[in-house]
Amino acid sequence: MKRSKLLLMWLAGMLILLVSSCRSDDEELVLSSVTNVTPGVQVTGPVKGFFLLNEGNMGSNKASLDYFDYASGNYCKNIYPELNPTVQKALGDVGNDIQINGDKLFAVINVSHLVEVMDVNTARHLAAIPIPNCRYIVFNGRYAYVSSYAGKVVIDPNARLGYVAKVDLNSLQVVDTCDVGYQPEEMVVVGNKLYVANSGGYRVPNYDNTVSVIDLNTFTEIKKITVGINLHRMAIDARGNIYVSSRGDYYDIHSKVYVINSHNDMVTDVLNFPASEFCLSGDSLFYYSTEYSKYTGQNTISYGIYDTRKKRVVTTNFITDGTEKSIEVPYGLAVNPDTKEIFVTDAKNYVTPGTLYCFTPEGKKKWSVTTGDIPAHFVFTTKRLQVTFSNQ
DSSP line for 128-187 = EEE-TTEEEEEEETTEEEEEE--S-SS--TTPPP-EEEEEETTTTEEEEEEE-SSSEEEE
Lowest mean pLDDT among 12-16, 58-62, 145-149, 306-310: 12-16
DSSP state of 80: H
The whole-number pLDDT of residue 1 equals: 39
The answer to whether residue 15 sits within a structural domain is: no
Given a cut of 60, is residue 19 above it in pLDDT?
A: no
Q: What is the CATH number of the domain that holds 331?
A: 2.130.10.10
Instruction: Give a yes or no: residue 12 inside a domain.
Output: no
38 domain-assigned: yes
- Judged by average pLDDT, the poorest of 205-219, 287-301, 366-380 is 287-301
- Rounded Cα gap, residues 118 and 99, in angstroms: 11
pLDDT digits (tens, 9 = 90+) for 219-229: 999 999 999 99
- Within-domain flag for 23: no
Query: Does the pLDDT at position 12 exceed 60?
Result: no
| Strand pairing category for 220-226 and 231-236 | unpaired
The closest alpha carbon to 90, from 124, 122, 44, belongs to 124
Any domain includes 390? no
Give DSSP secondary structure letters for 245-284: EE-TTSSSSPPEEEEEETTTTEEEEEE-S--SEEEEETTE
**Helices marked H in 91-132 — which ranges?**
none
Total structural domains in the chain?
1
Binning pLDDT at 50, 70 and 90, where does residue 27 land? low
101-104, long-range: CB < 8 A, 24+ apart: 101/139, 101/144, 101/169, 102/169, 103/383, 104/169
| Strands 284-292 vs 299-307: parallel, antiparallel or unpaired | antiparallel
- The Cα 186–Cα 184 span in angstroms is 7
The residues pairing with 244 across neighbouring beta strands, listed in sequence order, are: 234, 258
Q: How confident is the model at residue 291, as a pLDDT?
A: 85
Strand partners, 75: 35, 68
| Whether pLDDT at 11 is above 60 | no
User: Residue 207, SS3?
Assistant: coil
Given a contact cutoff of 8 angstroms between Cβ atoms, the answer to whether 122 and 138 are in contact is: no
User: Is 258 within the bounds of a domain?
Assistant: yes
pLDDT per position as a tens digit, 158-178: 999 999 999 999 999 999 999
Q: Nearest-5° angle of CA 103, CA 148, CA 285?
A: 70
Residues in CB range of 15: below 8 A, 6 or more apart:
none
Residues in the chain: 392
Condensed to tens digits (0 to 9), the pLDDT of residues 72-83 reads 999 999 999 999
Q: Residue 21's pLDDT band (boundaries 50, 70, 90)?
A: very low
Residue 49, domain extent? 29-379
CB within 8 Å of 78: residues ≥ 6 apart? 30, 32, 33, 64, 65, 66, 372
Is 24 among the domain residues? no
C-alpha span between 127 and 325 (Å, rounded)? 42
